[in-house]
């Protein structure tokens, strides 16, 4: 029986899943990766650490699945949109110690992003009008201005996904997903815009024919090179030549693995450390503050708008840790083998959410607003904190933070709808969105049904679909989606709760506006 492997590199771990060609997961593996945080919004990782974690995860997944490695028909990768810096021959070129990756959430390039936005170049219309410090050209400009020697020595600058497929296959091709969504490549025209790079101070990349950031751009799932190289095959424990598909950004893989056969009616909401919204349309939709429209960046042949929150699961983690009861709750969560948010969700089961959060309002934006306001400078707001230091008040803070994420999702949906982009339901994936409580709160705060995919691992499944396409087990990504993904439970909004959330949503927007105006005072 043939199978495929999906590999997902998130912010804190690498994971692998072995799937049959119907989309059933046969085995999985996981390995943590190190994350360094420093002053000034610095967040860094090591590509060697990540590759080793990938190899450990793949071997564990194959062992758990009990399959013959020779039966693997293809592998696919997804990863965070982090910037990998390589020296000649592909050796890591570190920005500090052994760390040669500037992580997606690193905000050291705030000033560079603001200067780029002030120029108002035409390519910015394809990123919602404003580029983010989470994207790669501000990071590259920061490197050139602050570490010119390192910048000059670099052989390749790569999105993490493209680094992984290169490490596996030896092929320097970039995925249309990564370069279109994070590097300003014009996917619908199949070209880089030289004038943009010259205008912002990165004209050398254009003058070199974009050799260092990607000359060959291909659709996700395209088979790369001749499959696994000798070295990569030995590292992964798989046969030489196993097909390797061009990859996706992690959230986009979650979209592929979850929206099934009707991607235009369904908004994919990938809820993890950050959150991403993926909306597919047949015609381009220009939505202020929402990234895109990107052509073929997720579903081939369709345009994509990408929104989301810079911190989602991470925002909840950060906010609840400020509560006096958090250390005691963490001990109880550890004893139960749960994360603190999952433990709090358990404690909240059966409660009236709106009664629990009455008078307590949270704007969960500790590292800025990704969409629809595209403001990396704004910060979180909590209104209604009293003197309580007990478990009940911590649960209330957790729920209010969750409601705030729901209101942020509603803002994105409404911003898109004002341009004629309407969705009928939200399909949720990601580790932070597995609880029934979370799903119902999101349904009630947005007023839309929230549907869960059948698979527990839609991000891994999305990458596995790329492997199936590369290995010709499925003809293309669209047919792979139809064959390997499906939907399961539906959480419908409660009309009474929706009406009560409307009033809280208005307060949320007032607090958010106040926070934006207060940040510079």
We report the CATH number of the domain holding residue 73 as: 3.30.420.40
> What is the rounded average pLDDT of the residues 334-348?
97
Residues in CB range of 189: below 8 A, 6 or more apart: none
H helices of 109-228, in order, are 110-119, 136-146, 148-153, 160-169, 176-182, 194-200, 203-207
pLDDT at 430: 85
Report the candidate in 469, 255, 435 with the shortest Cα–Cα distance to residue 343: 435
284 found inside a domain: no
Q: Compute the mean pLDDT over every residue in the chain, rounded to the nearest whole number.
A: 96
Give the pLDDT band of residue 384 (cuts 50, 70, 90): very high
* H helix or E strand, kind and range, residue 255: helix 250-256
Give per-residue pLDDT as tens, 284-325.
999 999 999 999 999 999 999 999 998 999 999 999 999 999
**Neighbour tally for 471: CB within 10 Å:** 24
- The pTM of the full predicted model, rounded to 2 decimals, is 0.92
pLDDT at 431: 85
Judged by DSSP in three states, 277 sits in strand
Give per-residue pLDDT as tens, 420-441.
999 999 999 988 999 999 999 9
pLDDT of 100 above 80 = yes
Through-space distance between the first and last CA atoms of the chain, rounded to whole angstroms = 64
> What is the rounded average pLDDT of the residues 128-147?
96
pLDDT at 212: 98
Give the pLDDT band of residue 519 (cuts 50, 70, 90): confident
Residues of the chain with pLDDT > 90, as a percent, come to: 97
Range of the domain at 210: 3-250
pLDDT of 152 above 80 = yes
pLDDT at 332: 98
Q: For residue 362, is it left (φ>0), alpha (ψ between -120 and 50) or beta?
A: beta
Number of domains, the chain: 1
Distance CA 173, CA 194 (A): 19
122 found inside a domain: yes
Q: Output the six-digit token pair for 102.
A: 């500037």
493 found inside a domain: no
Phi, psi of 275 (to 5 degrees): -125, 150
H helices of 288-390, in order, are 313-320, 326-335, 340-347, 353-356
How far out from the chain centre does Cα 402 lie? Answer: 18
Residues of the chain with pLDDT > 70, as a percent, come to: 100
pLDDT at 288: 92
116 found inside a domain: yes
63 found inside a domain: yes
pLDDT at 521: 87
Give the pLDDT band of residue 104 (cuts 50, 70, 90): very high
433 found inside a domain: no
246 found inside a domain: yes
Give per-residue pLDDT as tens, 194-209.
999 999 999 999 999 9
Beta bridge pairs of residue 369:
375
Beta bridge pairs of residue 412:
none
pLDDT at 260: 87
H helices of 23-134, in order, are 47-65, 110-119
Report the candidate in 61, 49, 46, 175 with the shortest Cα–Cα distance to residue 461: 61
Give per-residue pLDDT as tens, 444-480.
999 999 999 999 999 999 999 999 999 999 999 999 9
444 found inside a domain: no
Beta bridge pairs of residue 316:
none
**Pairing between β-strand 425-429 and β-strand 266-271 as defined by DSSP bridges:** parallel
> What is the rounded average pLDDT of the residues 148-169?
98
Q: Strands across the sheet with 101-102, in order?
A: 36-38, 42-45, 101-102, 83-86, 156-159
């Amino acid at each position: 029986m043939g199978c495929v492997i999906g590999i997902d590199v998130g912010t804190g771990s690498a994971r692998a899943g072995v799937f049959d060609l119907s989309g059933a997961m046969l085995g999985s593996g996981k390995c943590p990766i190190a994350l360094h945080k420093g002053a000034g919004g610095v967040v860094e990782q090591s590509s060697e650490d990540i590759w080793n974690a990938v190899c450990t995860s793949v071997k564990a997944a194959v062992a758990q699945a009990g399959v013959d490695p020779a039966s693997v028909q293809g592998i696919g990768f997804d990863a965070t949109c982090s910037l990998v810096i390589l020296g000649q021959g592909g050796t890591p070129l570190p920005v500090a110690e052994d760390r040669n990756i500037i992580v997606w959430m690193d905000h050291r390039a705030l000033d560079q992003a603001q200067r780029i936005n002030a120029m108002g170049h035409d390519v910015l219309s394809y990123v919602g009008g404003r580029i983010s410090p989470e994207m790669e050209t501000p990071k590259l400009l920061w490197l050139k201005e602050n570490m010119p020697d390192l910048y000059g020595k670099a052989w390749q600058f790569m999105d993490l996904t493209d680094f992984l497929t290169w490490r596996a296959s030896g092929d320097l091709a970039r995925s249309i997903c990564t370069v279109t969504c994070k590097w300003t490549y014009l996917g619908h025209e199949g070209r880089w815009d030289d004038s943009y790079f010259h205008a912002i101070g990165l004209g050398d990349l254009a003058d070199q024919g974009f050799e260092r950031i990607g000359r060959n751009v291909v659709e996700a799932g395209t088979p790369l090179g001749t499959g696994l190289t000798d070295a990569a095959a030995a590292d992964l424990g798989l046969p030489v030549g196993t097909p390797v598909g061009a990859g996706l950004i992690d959230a986009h893989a979650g979209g592929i693995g979850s929206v099934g056969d009707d991607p235009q009616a369904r908004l994919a909401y990938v809820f993890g450390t950050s959150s991403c919204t993926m909306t597919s349309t047949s015609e381009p939709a220009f939505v202020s503050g929402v990234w895109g429209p990107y052509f073929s960046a997720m579903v081939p042949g369709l345009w994509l708008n990408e929104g989301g929150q810079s911190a989602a699961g991470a925002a909840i983690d950060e906010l609840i840790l400020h509560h006096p009861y958090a250390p005691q709750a963490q001990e109880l969560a550890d004893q139960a083998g749960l994360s603190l948010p999952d433990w709090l969700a358990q404690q909240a089961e059966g409660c009236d959410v709106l009664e629990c959060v009455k008078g307590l309002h949270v704007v969960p934006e500790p590292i800025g607003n990704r969409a629809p306001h595209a403001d990396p400078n704004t910060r979180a707001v909590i209104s209604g904190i009293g003197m309580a230091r007990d478990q009940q008040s911590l649960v209330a803070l957790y729920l209010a933070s969750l409601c705030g994420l729901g209101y942020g999702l509603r803002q994105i949906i409404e911003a898109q709808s004002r341009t004629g982009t309407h969705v009928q339901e939200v399909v949720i994936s990601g580790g932070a969105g597995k609880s029934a409580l979370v799903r119902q709160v999101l349904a009630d705060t947005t007023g839309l049904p929230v549907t869960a995919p059948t698979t527990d691992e839609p991000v891994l499944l999305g990458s596995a679909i790329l492997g199936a396409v590369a290995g010709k087990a499925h003809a293309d990504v669209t047919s792979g989606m139809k064959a390997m993904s499906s939907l399961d439970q539906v959480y419908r909004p409660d009309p009474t709760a929706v009406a009560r959330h409307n009033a809280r949503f208005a307060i949320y927007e007032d607090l958010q506006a106040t926070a934006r105006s207060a940040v510079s005072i």
